[in-house]
Structure 1
Amino acid sequence: MPAYVGIVKILNMGGSSIFNIGDVNLIYPVSNAKTFAGAGSFNTGDGLAVYNQQSVTSVNDSDLNDQNIVGNI
Structure 2
Amino acid sequence: MPAIVGAVKVISVGSSGVFNIGDVFTMNPVSTSKTFAGAGSFNTGDYLKIRNDHSITKTYDQDVNDSNIKSVI
Q: Which amino acid aligns with 2:71?
A: N
Q: Which amino acid aligns with 2:55?
A: S
Separation of aligned partners in 2, 1:37 and 1:31? 20
- For residue 66 of structure 1, report the CA deviation from its aligned partner: 0.7
Unaligned runs of 5+ in 1: 1-13, 18-27
Q: Give the CA RMSD over aligned residues.
A: 2.3
Give the number of the structure whose alpha-carbon radius of gyration is greater.
1
The 3 A distance-change label for structure 1 pair 29 and 54 is closer
Change (3 A) 1:40 1:72: same
1:22-68: CA deviation from partner (whole Å, max 9, x where unpaired):
xxxxxx65111111111111111112110010110000010111112
Identity %: 57
Question: For 2:60 and 2:29, how far apart are their aligned partners in 1?
Answer: 28
Unmatched runs of 5 consecutive residues or more in structure 2: 1-13, 18-27
The residue type paired with residue 31 of structure 1 is S
